[in-house]
Amino acid sequence: MRFFSFFLHTLRRMAGPCFLGAALGLAAAPAGAAERPVDPLAAPNDFLEAVANNMLDAVKADPLALQGDTGHIADLVRRYALPHVDMNKTTRLAAGRHWRQASAAQREALVQAFTGTLIRTYSGAFTRVTSGTTITLLPFRGDPKADDAVVRTSISQPNSPPIGVDYRLERTDAGWKVYDLNVEGIWLIQNYRNQFAAEIGRSGIDGLIKALNAKQ
């Protein structure tokens, strides 16, 4: 299965009834990877372009990653992607009204469990990256001075149609942070919100945390 169809399938199945039974320690930078400087205070497109291409280039430059070593790819995700993602906000929005009912300890545990789930999911998607995979930033349509922005990209690979991936960013005190992802019209948070609500309804917040941790 090609990278694009796998990536889209992965995101779509996250909302399915079996997603809970089924996207972030640092790794050393792989040799040969020319890391772009990431400026979280730059324009949204410039910030996202550096983050996305650093992650992609790291996978391309790493022999173990290109061989499909998901554990090694997970280390790259933690190094290149996770520092630029606001997992607290992503988790809070996915949990919806249930977040307010959670204790501080439950919130922390849920963020950690959800982070592990996304790392696992997207590490699998990155096993489909090849030397010909590219990311193109599309023209920015929003207000660069706003505190919330959507950056549109197109991921291409030889002999495959391009796939649109959008990133929702928030301007924080530390600069831009990614907190949501859209693949071909499917928003990550909305998909997980439905599944989180169903699992919490069955077994509570602790049950959701346990279910997320079970497959890590």
Q: Report pTM.
A: 0.83
Count how many residues are written for the chain. 216
Q: Comparing C-alpha atoms, which of 159, 193, 195, 212 is closest to residue 5?
A: 159
**pLDDT at residue 29, rounded to an integer:** 37
Domains of the chain, earliest start first: 3-214 (3.10.450.710)
pLDDT tens sequence across 78-137: 999 999 999 999 999 999 999 999 999 999 999 999 999 999 888 877 887 888 888 899
Which residue did the predictor score with more confidence, 200 or 10? 200
Q: Note whether 178 and 171 are within 8 A (CB).
A: no
pLDDT score, position 24: 31
DSSP letters for 145-199:
TSSEEEEEEEEEETTEEEEEEEEEEEEETTEEEEEEEEETTEEHHHHHHHHHHHH
More confident residue, 20 or 177: 177
pLDDT at 28 over 50: no
